[in-house]
Amino acid sequence: MEKRKRRDPHHSWAEPFKIKMVELLKMTTPAQRKKTIEEAGFNTFLLKSRDVYIDLLTDSGTNAMSDRQWAGLMMGDEAYAGSENFYHLEATVRKYYGYKYVVPTHQGRGAENLLSRITIKPGDVVPGNMYFTTTRLHQELAGGTFYDVIIDEAHDPASLHPFKGDIDIAKLEALVKKFGAKKIPYICVATTVNMAGGQPISMKNLKEVRKFTSKHGIKIFLDMTRVAENAWFIKTREHGYADKSVAAIVKEICSLTDGATFSAKKDALVNIGGFFAVNDKKLYDEASNLCVVYEGLHTYGGLAGRDMEAMAIGIVESLTDDHMKARIGQVIYLGEKLMDAGIPIVRPIGGHGIFLDAKAFLPHIKQDNFPAQTLAAEIYIDSGVRSMERGIVSAGRDKNTGKHNYPKLELVRLTLPRRVYTQAHMDVIAESIECVHDRRKKVRGLKMVYEPKYLRFFQARFKRA
Ligand SMILES: *Cc1c(COP(=O)(O)O)cnc(C)c1O
């Protein structure tokens, strides 16, 4: 799939847009960057944006909006209750995702909070295809325990399984046997599993999960943050979907679930926003009531009217095949360039970025010395490219033993914002990583000198070990 038809002009991933306004970038020197990363405690989250050249920290909220979305901002109806833009958003969610009810939230974790609080009781068990940081934390804060039921291949950066986001039904069945279905309020199914490297789930597997959960009366809630990117992989990799549109595949995915949480900061091409969506009226009533406590009235959920308008327009743009071809095309372009240079990356190439295998890149650094955290700092020093750690720091501590969780994957994520950078930027990124790779043996690890209690990767500080 990755090498497919690269030189055939009819298969180019060229952008289906042209550029109307530009934002100037700031250039810095290696000496400046050595100082700034030290001041930031070797944590790329603590760098100032003005010290960054190419920002691949995240694809979250960093998207470039279209002229239509900017025009939509001017159509903001900033009424406290019943904003016109809410009804536009609601109609869009119904039409394109098929869910009956929608509660807007300020971003994805706001929706996760609502879902966790209305469905999870203390002692409950919540299976999922690999954890996500905020998702798992909200499940735990509600008294639940997360169990990973993703297939084993997802934990192997070298496995070429085309759908590493698939769920292992045997693992799910074992949980039902052990705890009983009554203790499992829902299974959280993520599309393009972030922590596995942006790996998709197949429609075939989702159908099996639906069949299994229906039999046991367990609900499926979709973490649909990158559902359109997942649909593109189904279209290009799964038998029987080549002629279906991204929009049709997305609707089919949603139809196999009971509801969803959504961070609009990813797929939906906006800078802020999210929602909780559900088909069950009772759950909707509970969610819209809790929304008033944590987000705002259920017709704005912490968003301005204009934000909901931009989201409604962005959802439609995100579901076009042309957009998705260019989006994933750019990610694959960068990934292939790195592979050609012998850089160890997670394969197959995922949807929202490239994940460097830091264990293979820096084999001499022990996991206790944070190889991925170290590698992200080295790349920044080399070129001002900002990436982020997805390894032991992100995995946090075990909530019972207080020990580090030791994830099998120790990754550096180079996340590509949508519609923001050019092909020449991709070349610079690849060249910089090659430079760091050439001098990898000289790189020293880190030690943690400050550790916050929640989601430590955001604010932890390090020094050279
Ligand atoms: C970003 C993200 C979330 C949380 O959304 P926010 O908008 O950042 O609060 C949840 N799940 C996944 C898979 C994500 O990538």
Q: What is the pLDDT of residue 283?
A: 98
pLDDT value at 1 more than 70: no
Q: What is the pLDDT of residue 400?
A: 87
Q: What is the pLDDT of residue 443?
A: 97
193: pLDDT confidence band, cut at 50, 70 and 90? very high
> How many percent of the chain have pLDDT more than 70?
98
Q: What is the pLDDT of residue 10?
A: 55
Q: What is the pLDDT of residue 48?
A: 97
pLDDT value at 4 more than 70: no
Residue nearest to atom 8 of ligand 1 (CA): 108
Mind listing the pLDDT tens digit for each residue in 43-56? 999 999 999 999 99
pLDDT value at 378 more than 80: yes
Q: How confident is the model over 385-392, as a mean pLDDT?
A: 96
pLDDT value at 6 more than 80: no
Handedness of CA 231, 233, 239, 242 (dihedral sign): positive
58 touches ligand 1 (CB under 6 Å)? no
Q: What is the pLDDT of residue 3?
A: 53
Q: Mean pLDDT in the chain? A: 95
* Phi, psi dihedrals of residue 429, rounded to the nearest 5°: -60, -50
Active site residue 236: no
pLDDT value at 168 more than 70: yes
Instruction: Look up the pTM and report it.
Output: 0.93
* Phi, psi dihedrals of residue 453, rounded to the nearest 5°: -75, -40
CA of 387 to the centre of ligand 1 (A): 17
Comparison of pLDDT for 399 and 352, the residue scoring more: 352
Q: Where are the domains of the chain?
A: 30-59+321-464, 67-318
Q: How confident is the model over 390-411, as a mean pLDDT?
A: 91
Looking at 3.40.190.290, 3.40.50.300, 3.40.640.10, 2.40.50.140, the CATH number of the domain 67-318 comes to 3.40.640.10
The pairing of strands 101-105 and 274-278 is: antiparallel
Mind listing the pLDDT tens digit for each residue in 241-270? 999 999 999 999 999 999 999 999 999 999
Residue nearest to atom 6 of ligand 1 (CA): 108
Residue nearest to atom 1 of ligand 1 (CA): 263
Mind listing the pLDDT tens digit for each residue in 209-228? 999 999 999 999 999 999 99
Q: Catalytic residue among 99, 101, 132, 380, which?
A: 132
Mutate to test the pocket of ligand 1, among 57, 58, 59, 60 (most ligand atoms within 8 A of CB): 60
Q: What is the pLDDT of residue 157?
A: 82
Mind listing the pLDDT tens digit for each residue in 273-292? 999 999 999 999 999 999 99
Mutate to test the pocket of ligand 1, among 116, 131, 134 (most ligand atoms within 8 A of CB): 134
Mind listing the pLDDT tens digit for each residue in 309-351? 999 999 999 999 999 999 999 999 999 999 999 999 999 999 9
191 touches ligand 1 (CB under 6 Å)? no
Do the first three CATH levels of 30-59+321-464 and 67-318 match, i.e. the same topology? no
Q: What is the pLDDT of residue 8?
A: 53
409: pLDDT confidence band, cut at 50, 70 and 90? confident
Q: What is the pLDDT of residue 133?
A: 87
Residue nearest to atom 5 of ligand 1 (CA): 108
Residue nearest to atom 14 of ligand 1 (CA): 225
Mind listing the pLDDT tens digit for each residue in 135-164? 999 999 999 999 999 999 999 888 999 999
Spell out the CATH class of 30-59+321-464.
alpha beta
pLDDT value at 12 more than 90: no
> How many percent of the chain have pLDDT more than 90?
92
105 touches ligand 1 (CB under 6 Å)? no
90 touches ligand 1 (CB under 6 Å)? no
327 touches ligand 1 (CB under 6 Å)? no
pLDDT value at 9 more than 80: no
Active site residue 457: yes
2: pLDDT confidence band, cut at 50, 70 and 90? low
Residue 450 CA to residue 75 CA, distance in Å, equals: 45
Q: Is the CB of residue 356 less than 8 Å from the CB of residue 345?
A: yes
* Phi, psi dihedrals of residue 120, rounded to the nearest 5°: -100, 130
CA of 442 to the centre of ligand 1 (A): 35
CA of 223 to the centre of ligand 1 (A): 8
229 touches ligand 1 (CB under 6 Å)? no
